[in-house]
C-alpha cells in the first residue's frame, strides 16, 4: 500500500479500539505507529450484534448511549465485519445463528422499534446480509424445542458476528505492518510521555479507561467488570450462540471444542462460580445438566473483563495543538467497543483529516 500522507500517526492503545483505528488509518493511506503496554483485553471469543435494539443491552451500554446513534455505528461496523467474514480463516470473523431466550413473554432481539424509515431499512439490510453469511443457516427446530421445554417463554432467533479475538488482532496488525506501519508493545505511558508525543506528531488516544487519567481526555471514566469463562470440555457440539436475557449470560461453543460462557457477574472471590451459575439454564437445556466446578474435574480459563465506560458516552474528536500536530480522542465505548469499533475508528480518522489542510477524509 502506498504511503500517501507525509506525517505518521501514533495510535496509543492496542485493544479493539486501538487496532481498529490503526487499520482504518492504514486503509486511508496513513503510516501508523501503534504503541501500547500490551494487546489489551483479548477474550478468546467476542460476539457482536445490535445491542441498541436490545434494551437494556449487554454491558449496560444503552444506559450510556443514544440508541439511534449507537445503531448507526453498529450498522457501519457490522457491514465491515460481514465483509471480513468472507475470509474467516484469515480474519477470525464469521457469522452464526443466535437465540435470545427468556422466561418472560415477548422478549425478542429487536424489542426497540425504529421510527426513522431510512435507519430501519439500513438495519434490515444489515440483518439480511448477516442471514446470508450465517453458518449454519439456522438453529435446528429440535434445539428450539429444548429451550421451550426448559420453560423459556421467549425463544427468538437472529444472526450475530463471532470473532476469534487472537486471529482477528493478528489480521489487523498484519494489515498495518504490511503497509509500513509498526507496533511497539511493553510501553507504559505517563501523562507527561503522552504530552511529549503530542508535541512531536499526530496522536490518537485509544487508551480505554486510561484515556482520561493518562491520555488527558475529558469526561469521567469508570469500570464495568464482567467475566468470560472457557470451560475446557463442551458436552455436545452446537453451532449457534445463546443469550439468556434474564441472566445477561452468553454461551457458545469455541472453534477448538471448548465452551465459552460470558456474563456480567460482579467482581469478587465468587465471580467465576456466579458466571457458571448464571449459565445454568442454557446448560441444562443444551447438555441435560448444569456445569459444576466442584464435581466435574474439568479445567477452565477465567478472563476478567473491564468494559471502559464514560458517563458522557462516546468521546471522539480532534484538535490541533500549538506545535501544529493533531490530537485525536477515540474512547468511551463501554459495552459497545467491538460493535461500534469500525464506525468509531472512521469518525476518529475523519476528525483527524478535518484538521489537516489538503487531505480529505476518504
Q: Show pLDDT as tens, one digit a residue, over the chain (362 residues).
A: 444 566 799 999 999 999 999 999 999 999 999 999 999 878 888 888 876 666 444 545 556 678 889 899 999 999 999 999 999 999 999 999 999 999 999 999 888 889 999 999 999 999 999 999 999 999 999 999 999 999 999 999 999 999 999 999 999 999 999 999 999 999 999 999 999 999 999 999 999 989 999 999 999 888 877 889 999 999 999 999 999 999 989 999 999 999 999 988 888 999 999 999 999 999 999 999 999 988 778 899 999 877 778 888 899 999 999 999 999 999 998 778 899 999 999 999 999 999 997 655 45
Q: Say how far apart CA 348 and CA 337 lie, in whole Å.
A: 14
CB contact at 8 A, 79 and 222: no
**Mutual orientation of helices 16-27 and 341-354 as an angle, nearest 10°?**
50
How is residue 217 annotated by DSSP?
A: -
Q: Say how far apart CA 328 and CA 342 lie, in whole Å.
A: 16
Q: Say how far apart CA 171 and CA 104 lie, in whole Å.
A: 41
User: Which of 61, 133, 101 is closest to 340 using CA atoms?
Assistant: 61
CA atoms within 13 A on the CB side of 252: 27
Q: Say how far apart CA 361 and CA 340 lie, in whole Å.
A: 19
Q: Looking at residue 55, what is its pLDDT? A: 46
Q: Looking at residue 222, what is its pLDDT? A: 84
Q: Looking at residue 61, what is its pLDDT? A: 56
Amino acid at each position: 500500500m502506498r504511503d500517501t500522507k507525509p506525517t505518521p500517526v501514533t495510535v496509543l492503545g492496542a485493544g479493539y479500539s486501538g487496532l481498529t483505528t490503526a487499520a482504518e488509518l492504514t486503509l486511508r493511506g496513513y503510516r501508523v505507529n501503534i504503541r501500547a503496554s500490551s494487546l489489551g483485553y483479548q477474550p478468546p471469543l467476542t460476539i457482536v450484534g445490535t445491542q441498541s435494539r436490545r434494551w437494556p443491552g449487554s454491558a449496560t451500554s444503552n444506559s450510556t448511549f443514544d440508541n439511534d446513534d449507537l445503531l448507526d455505528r453498529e450498522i457501519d461496523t457490522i457491514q465491515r465485519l460481514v465483509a471480513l467474514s468472507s475470509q474467516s480463516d484469515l480474519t477470525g470473523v464469521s457469522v452464526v445463528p443466535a437465540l435470545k431466550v427468556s422466561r418472560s413473554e415477548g422478549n425478542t432481539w429487536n424489542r426497540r422499534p425504529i421510527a426513522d424509515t431510512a435507519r430501519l431499512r439500513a438495519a434490515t439490510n444489515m440483518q439480511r446480509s448477516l442471514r446470508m453469511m450465517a453458518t449454519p443457516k439456522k438453529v435446528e427446530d429440535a434445539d428450539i424445542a429444548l429451550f421451550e421445554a426448559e420453560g423459556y417463554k421467549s425463544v427468538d432467533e437472529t444472526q450475530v458476528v463471532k470473532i476469534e479475538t487472537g486471529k482477528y488482532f493478528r489480521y489487523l496488525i498484519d494489515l498495518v505492518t504490511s503497509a509500513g506501519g509498526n507496533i511497539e508493545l511493553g510501553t507504559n505511558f505517563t501523562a507527561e510521555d503522552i504530552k511529549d508525543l503530542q508535541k512531536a506528531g499526530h496522536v490518537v488516544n485509544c487508551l480505554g479507561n486510561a484515556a482520561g487519567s493518562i491520555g488527558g481526555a475529558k469526561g469521567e471514566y469508570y469500570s464495568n467488570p464482567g467475566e468470560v469463562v472457557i470451560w475446557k470440555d463442551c458436552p455436545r457440539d452446537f453451532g449457534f450462540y445463546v443469550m439468556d436475557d434474564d441472566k445477561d449470560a452468553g454461551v457458545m461453543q469455541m472453534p477448538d471444542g471448548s465452551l465459552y460462557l460470558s456474563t456480567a457477574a460482579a467482581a469478587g472471590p465468587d465471580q467465576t462460580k456466579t458466571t457458571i451459575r448464571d449459565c445454568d439454564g442454557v446448560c441444562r437445556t443444551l447438555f441435560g445438566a448444569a456445569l459444576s466446578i466442584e464435581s466435574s474435574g474439568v479445567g477452565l480459563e477465567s478472563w476478567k473483563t473491564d468494559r471502559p465506560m464514560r458517563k458522557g458516552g462516546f468521546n471522539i474528536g480532534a484538535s490541533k495543538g500549538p506545535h501544529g500536530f493533531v490530537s485525536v480522542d477515540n474512547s468511551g465505548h463501554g459495552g459497545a467497543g467491538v460493535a461500534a469499533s469500525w464506525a468509531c475508528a472512521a469518525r476518529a480518522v475523519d476528525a483527524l483529516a478535518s484538521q489537516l489542510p489538503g487531505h480529505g477524509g476518504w
